[in-house]
Structure 1
Amino acid sequence: MKNKKSFSVIGGDLRQVKMANGLAQDGYDVKAFGFNNIEFHPSIIQVNSIQEAIDGADVIIAPLPCTLDNETVNAPFYDEKIFYKDLFKKISKNQLFVGGKLGEKINNLAKVYNIYVVDYFEREELTVLNAIPTAEGAIQIAMEEMPITIHSSNCLILGYGRIGRILSKMLWGLGANVTVEARKYEDLAWIKSFGYNGIHLNELTTVIGDYDVIFNTIPSVVLDTDILSKIDKECLVIDLASKPGGVDFEMARNIGIKTIWALSLPGKVAPNTAGDIIKDTIFNIIYELGV
């Protein structure tokens, strides 16, 4: 194990805990900082300062999302704040920093301190595999919230990206009547080839009232006042899109449409799987960089 990399895991939710434990189980040296009352693998060293965390670490791993305020590490299991400026001050040019959804401000701060950073959320293998627990979580919500079965229900998916593709397949397998909205005609062709109903965005207002549940995956407001007014009041809307979301939530409340904004589902419904996906992606980054 002497030639293997050493890791420092700083902050995060259960995904990072699972990832850290997985690294330790694989025989790597791992330190953890930014966690209170979390039981880690016995070989993981929990430290009490940024300096202790980064000393001797080849790879420093921040969570997904890396920050909620563009200043501090997203550390829900920690009582204090960990500022990125304090972290970057202590990282050397020989250390690799990786995090998820870094954003413009964190990237710019890294440049100021001459830190080499990689955003693992921008990796295609992670986002594709992350779509699986997202889709499963969305279906779980629908099953818990709807008074009918998924089987034979009328389901509409807005968007045919990674999540839309996996979600449509899962719903189809459960016997749902699946309709998928897409803007590209090539996507509509693929949708048709799999046996789903396909509609173009321009047709949405004419059919929007026909569904028991609507899953949105588009990160812009598609379900605006005009379209929401045409949705059946018994329909459940599950928004899977990142901020700002795809629903006018205030209008939905005003007209009585039940809407659930289901953010960060992988970390909530399948943290172990999500942690393994992050770990594997980080190793892909290390391999490609040759560090």
Structure 2
Amino acid sequence: MLTGLHIVIMGGDARQIEVIRKLSELGAKISLIGYEQLDHSFTGAVKEKIDEINWQEIDAIILPVAGTSLDGEIDTIFSNEHIRIDENKISKTPPHCTIYSGITNTYLTKITQKAGRKLELIFDRNDVAIYNSIPTVEGIIMLVIQNTDFTIHGSKTVVLGFGRNGMTISRVFHGLGAKLKVGVRNAEHIARIEEMGLDSFHLNDLEEFVKDADIVINTIPHLVVTANVISKMPHHTLIIDIASKPGGTDFRYAEKRGIKAILTPSLPGIVAPKTAGQILANVLVELLHDDLLKRKGNVK
């Protein structure tokens, strides 16, 4: 139970609805910022303006999975208002207040550190990333079907990166009959790819391996699909980049060459917001409950 906790949920997308539902069911008091257009109502959850919050009473702040922009702006699909979080607001919270976000950037890291508050990154957890890889790969399949005139079965597919998403994507596309090649740098990843019966190559050789690619799926959050790489691709190649913004693809050059390149860093929230929201909600409940127990232990 989370009775007694006062939590601020700021902005977000449809995934946050499942978070609100779960936390309210467990007795938390919730202040919703950026939810004026939300039709749902939840016991214990109140829509408020950011200037109406008494920050001194707040035990936790839950940001969207994308965190903030580099100037503190927070995206929300439930409001047309501009919402911004800054160091001044965070500094007014009690010392035990934790800020939860999917990912961070230099701005968010800086203001939480200056305020002396704990920043918990949900997407740094292996369990969340692995669970999220399931709706992610389903979304990729949907995009491939929508944007090609050939089947995945038999397609020459290149997956870049073999982390928690890359591994799931590679396994599923291989299972669908794609002629799959996985590009990585890490020797350990190469060993695992080979153990799984898949074909690997070193990213230094990427230009050679995209010459006949039908589909290129990038999971690496650094520029790897460069202009030189894109110049070697056939015109029909479809690039799907799921790395966090700005992705790992030179989108401007892809457009110039007439190659379709799609940046989709939040596929779980697009294709399966209910499931993705439940994943977030379950982890947040665990983290909030642990923090509550720690505080009670300190009080004793």
Q: Which residue of 2 aligns with 1:170?
A: 172
Q: Please give the alpha-carbon distance, in whole angstroms, between the structure 2 residues aligned to 1:206 and 1:11.
A: 43
Letter in 2 for 1:74: D
Contact 1:9/1:32, CA 8 A, preserved across alignment? yes
Q: Please give the alpha-carbon distance, in whole angstroms, between the structure 2 residues aligned to 1:162 and 1:73.
A: 27
Alignment of 1:106-145 (within 5 A): 106-145=108-147
Q: Which residue of 1 aligns with 2:150?
A: 148
- Name whichever of 144-153 and 110-119 sits farther off: 110-119
Q: Which residue of 2 aligns with 1:21?
A: 21
Identity %: 31
Match of 1:257 among 256, 259, 263: 259
TM-score of the aligned structures, taking structure 2 as reference length: 0.87
Q: Any runs of at least 4 consecutive aligned residues in structure 1 with deviations exceeding 4 A, and if so which? A: 1-4, 53-57
Deviations 1:67-103 (A, max 9, x none): 1243233333222223312532442224332222232
Letter in 2 for 1:243: K
Contact 2:23/2:285, CA 8 A, preserved across alignment? no
Count of residues in correspondence between the two structures? 291
Which consecutive residues of structure 1, in runs of 5 or more, have no partner in the other structure? none
SS state of the match for residue 64, structure 2?
coil
Deviations 1:86-131 (A, max 9, x none): 5324422243322222322222222333333322232232222222
Alignment of 1:194-233 (within 5 A): 194-233=196-235
Q: Which residue of 2 aligns with 1:42?
A: 42
Contact 1:32/1:44, CA 8 A, preserved across alignment? no
- Cα 1:184–1:252 shift into 2, 3 Å: same
Shift of 1:52: 3.8
Contact 2:60/2:97, CA 8 A, preserved across alignment? yes
Contact 1:101/1:119, CA 8 A, preserved across alignment? yes
- Cα 1:44–1:171 shift into 2, 3 Å: farther
Match of 1:272 among 266, 269, 274: 274
Q: Is 1:80 paired with 2:95?
A: no
Letter in 2 for 1:170: V
Shift of 1:2: 7.6
- Cα 1:4–1:223 shift into 2, 3 Å: same
Shift of 1:65: 1.2
Which consecutive residues of structure 2, in runs of 5 or more, have no partner in the other structure? 296-300
- Cα 1:81–1:205 shift into 2, 3 Å: closer
Q: Please give the alpha-carbon distance, in whole angstroms, between the structure 2 residues aligned to 1:113 and 1:203.
A: 45
Letter in 2 for 1:164: G
TM-score of the aligned structures, taking structure 1 as reference length: 0.89
Contact 2:57/2:93, CA 8 A, preserved across alignment? no
Q: Please give the alpha-carbon distance, in whole angstroms, between the structure 1 residues aligned to 2:149 and 2:55.
A: 51
Shift of 1:141: 0.3
Contact 1:9/1:30, CA 8 A, preserved across alignment? yes
- Cα 1:81–1:92 shift into 2, 3 Å: farther
Shift of 1:61: 1.2
Aligned Cα root-mean-square deviation (Å): 2.3
SS state of the match for residue 103, structure 2?
coil
SS state of the match for residue 79, structure 1?
coil
Q: Which residue of 2 aligns with 1:283?
A: 285
SS state of the match for residue 107, structure 2?
helix
Q: Which residue of 2 aligns with 1:8?
A: 8
Q: Which residue of 2 aligns with 1:67?
A: 68
Contact 1:24/1:41, CA 8 A, preserved across alignment? no
- Cα 1:22–1:131 shift into 2, 3 Å: same
